[in-house]
Structures are given as C-alpha cells and as structure tokens.
Amino acid sequence: MSRILLVGATGFVGRHVRARAAAAGFDVVAAGRSPGLGGLPLDLTAGPGAVAAAVRRVAPDVVVNCAGVTHGSSTELVRGNVVAVANLLAGVAAAPGPVRLVHLGSAAEYGHVVQGTPVSELAPPRPLGPYGVTKLAGTELVRAAGLDAVVLRVFNPVGPGAPGTTLAGRLAAELRRTAGTGEDVRVGPLDASRDLVDVRDVADAVVAAVRARGGLPAVLNVGSGRATPLRDLATLLLRVTGARSRVLESAAGSDRSAGVAWQRADIRAAGRALGWTPVTDLTTSLRDLWAEHLKERSDAGGVGGRPPTGGREERSDPGGVGGRPPTGSTA
C-alpha cells in the first residue's frame, strides 16, 4: 500500500482528496496546522527542517500539498504560497528515498486569457494580482526543483464544502442565512464566465497523479473544460435551493477577479497524462453543496446556523480567480 503525506487535509480540496485517496486504498497521513484527529501537526512556514522531519517520520511515497493562502496581505500571501512551498521542496529533497510531489496551483496564474480560446499549459502566465503572482512563484519553484513533481493547476472548484471565498459557497451561505426572510442577497458583478469543476473531480485528478507511473508533465490543468457564465451559476443555485431571494449585483467585486472576464481550461493534457476526465455536472455539484448546508443547519438546530470556519488550510482554494469580499465573490 502506498503512503501519502497530505498537507492541508482539512481544507476544502484537502478533505475531499483525503476521502478519495483513502477510498482508493492509499494510506493517508493528514498533516497541517489543523490536521484533525490523528493528524500530524505541520506548519510549512516553520522552515525546511520541520518538513524534512515530517517526511522522515511518515516515510511517504507521495507528498500532496493542498495548503495555501487565498487572501490576506502581500506578506501573508508570500509566506503561505512561496515561502511555504520553498520549505516543502527543501524538506522533500532531503528525503532518504524517492518521493513524488503533487502540488496544487491555481488558474489565477494565467490571468487574462483570450476569450473563446481554452487556455492550455503552454499559455504564458500573466497573473493580475498578488494571489496569482504568489501562486505562480510557487509553481516556478516546483518546476525548478528537479524533483519528481507535478503542479495541478486547478480552476474554480465547486461542490460540498465550498467556502465563502467562492461565489457558490458565498451564495449558498447567504441563501441559508436568509431562508424564509425574503431578504435579497447581494454579490459582486456576475459578468464573467469561469471554468467550474467539481471538487471531487479535482480530488480524483490528485489521486490519478499519485498513481501515475513514470514522469509527469510539469503542469497539468484541472478543470471542467467548460466556461460557465456566473449569472447562470447563480440562477442554477436558486433553482436547486428553491430560494425566493433575489440575487443583486450591488456589492463590491473581487480583487482577484479584476480584469479576467472569461476562463476555460484546456484539459486534454491531463486526460493524456493521467487518464482523468471530470464526470460531475454543475447541477450535482450545487445540489450536494446545498445538501451539506442543510445538514449544517439541522446540526445547528435552526435556520441561521453559522457555517464552519477554519485555519489556513480551510482558506485554501487553489482554483480560479474569485476573491473574498465581505459581501460576495465573482468566482
């Protein structure tokens, strides 16, 4: 049985990777600043020695990095997306035996792309803000490290557990909060189109990268291969939830979305290298997202239960260019 050291296991993507990898028969050791019961405490920003010690202790065949920072000051973004990756690489390089690294990048690394043309891994990255810049810096560190490593450049993940840093997560939380009140829900502009991929399909891509034999391309896109207008996403979520609220585009937009009107992933390379293809439609993603919100509401004993919050791993949302304004997001 192969062993995976999974960093960021309690985050949105990480918890699905943990579940999918365990179901596939891997021995998964969860690690992170808040690793959960039985997990291994590990702060990637503590230095390469901490990572090296964790790698020696766990003796993994593969390290999967789902941790990262999606918002905050430039200092926080650099620390979480660049310094942490540099420490991770140094720690993995010090392992006594061969270790594969699967690192999650972000579509924000591409920045503006030509509308109507799916963006491939060969497209020159032009990130437009600090988040995309720091994610690209992390990717370049991985590419230059000379390790058995692949960066999965994730687009906009949706599905159960989607946090408020995403449009779907924010809308679901607001619809849950306003249920039965008739209150309008306010978000930022919904003019853009995004590649929305189910988080469980992302987790399956990670498992496929763990399993793959031989060398892998340095970077692989992980998306749905479709561009969905964000107004369509909002309309579909209203339909799934049965909510009667109006969604008003009257809030501030997202800094991370500024200047990016359209994105769609070219996922053919991932299909060739990993034998992977997304299988979950957007309606299912949103229905399962809402079902989880209803369960949280039931567990909280009422309509206005508060969605769970967490540490840095739970803020990790490597996909897409949606930001985290306090009243809405455009991805």
3-state secondary structure of 141: helix
What are the residues whose beta carbons fall under 8 Å from the beta carbon of 196, sequence distance 6 or more?
155, 156, 157, 158, 168, 224, 226, 228, 233, 282, 285
DSSP H helical ranges for the chain: 12-23, 48-58, 74-78, 84-93, 130-144, 167-177, 199-211, 230-241, 268-274, 282-300, 312-315
Q: Which amino acid is at 297?
A: R
**Cβ atoms within 10 Å, residue 168:** 28
Copy the structure tokens of residue 48.
Answer: 């390469």
Copy the structure tokens of residue 77.
Answer: 């973004």
| Residue 324 to residues 2, 164, 200, 252, 282, Cα–Cα distance (Å) | 37, 7, 22, 10, 21
| Residue 181 to residues 175, 184, 286, 294, Cα–Cα distance (Å) | 10, 9, 22, 16
Query: Which residue in the list 26, 131, 155, 290 is annotated as catalytic?
Result: 131
Q: Does 110 qualify as catalytic in the annotation?
A: no
Place of tokens 């299912």: 284
Copy the structure tokens of residue 40.
Answer: 């291994």
What are the residues whose beta carbons fall under 8 Å from the beta carbon of 148, sequence distance 6 or more?
98, 99, 100, 101, 215
What whole-number distance in Å separates Cα of residue 102 and Cα of residue 62? 7
Whether 310 and 36 have beta carbons less than 8 Å apart is answered as no
Q: Which residues participate in catalysis according to the annotation?
A: 131
